[in-house]
Chains A and B, each alone.
Chain A
């Protein structure tokens, strides 16, 4: 016969005893009690007021998006940057294999992205309602049309690539390839960073205070991921990719310092708690770590250099994904902070109503 399974790690009685000791200690030290604690029945209700808000009930609603959205940000960012790399590599006559791989990444992204975007809709079967209108003032509308152009362009390029590989070059294939590539480049540029505008121009404090930085930040993140994917696919000798990877890592390092150095209380979710931990993890993997690895690879021997670049690549890819998750998570935390939209800035934590609802 086995022992009875304990329901809790610790007897709740112990916890309550410890609490009584804590209260006694505080009374001894301060001569009074200021902790929030639990309110015994019959005690005064928490009060509404200019400093306590409406019982600390958050004014803003949390983003209703699910896991698809940060993943979409990651895939879209990498695919957009890959399309740009592929087109430029093609125009400058770089290694054909690199062009081919960049095109595949872009095409794969353009298939996955709409899938993720549609899956997140409350009514996925009504996705086409997005195509009723084009609204320049709605980043979501601009983004959907950009995605449509991007998907068409990259799909055409990849299809032409397939035809060319299989049946040899011909005029119609070359026309399709060039037109598709021009479209992927034109749409890939905004597609790789528009998601920064999408969350920047919202009522969520942590996002809109970063409205001017998010597109640049997301562009660097997407570039890091695209370069990383190409390097993982074997292009670890390309000096152009190395340079782009260094650029992305340098910008992401700068972005990390900007966030850490900011005094804006609205950016707190990027520095504290779970969301802060995710942000810092993503930041370290996208910025300083690949920067160090890439710098080291510049001075290392041939074989060592390649393995360092592979590590940098994996780090950037993971960092890019984690960074997107972090920003969405921070948005949730930000909307739960009832003080921000009410502009209640500094308040003694002990005076907070004990109503933080998850």
Chain B
């Protein structure tokens, strides 16, 4: 009897205790600046609703930036907000901007918060590694994207080709040739591959050749590495010798891929949303290897401003925004692979494409997109010269020299600005 009474008492006490932990009467206003589209906004609103069950008196104002003018524009906005003493409490941003923000010291380290939340062990450690600067973690990762070869299965079947797996550059080249169709006059009606027209998509070609456009610590150009020229030559030959790809233009060829006019394309997880709408019979394959099969990864993360009046509440909000529920929802809505492994293993996530599990499996073989503090400049310089080389406006030896010079000038300017 006594033990039964004690049990009841304990249960009541627990219930009271839990109730107290659940609702917190702190009153505050938090401002959140996130990025993305409707899918992200929906998931964010749901996350805030969950946050508000614990903190009913904390009002969260959301602003969402579609990043339609690129990350450079976003960085300028964020820095100007700090300059005007009008910073938000929590910022969502992407790896391209991490270094810029970290070197400016505008966010607070989140290591204590991460240590207190054992559930963050569910994230692949590499994501946290790339979110750190000088030994401190400033961002909690959300969705990420790694570049894979996306291919049209129907066109593979038509050409009598096996689905690709563990392939090399040369095998890829052969497959691309077989997937390219021409009419009687020799004009291409179906391209085997799209040589990428964006910085992020083209990086795996350098990584799989064991090189990169910048050096390892992103402090100088690596354009003069002969492997960079070799990679560019390979891509150039795909266009001009094998004629399996058009010259990279201003517009990416997603629509042509969805319409079956391009058989293979280098893209991330975000393309699936449209592929599903177009009922495209597609799958993903790892990037073809030369010396390894490393691909590139880009991802987003949340950070807390050092000017926030409620840093602990802001951290709790980040916790809600990166919780398992939010990540699952974001993963299934599309746009990126969830940072949490558990969220990338739901049936909804694995349903499409057939090899969806490969996204997470290839994570150990990824390197982040080179994102120094002058990322915007670096990206522009590389892409301008890359397109000039791919369109035969400048020879590859001259192009790499010019890009090298311009990149190093940009790093010099950066160093001069940081010194002052």
Do chains A and B stick together as partners? Answer: no
Q: Which residues of A contact B (CB under 8 A)?
A: none
Q: Which residues of B contact A (CB under 8 A)?
A: none
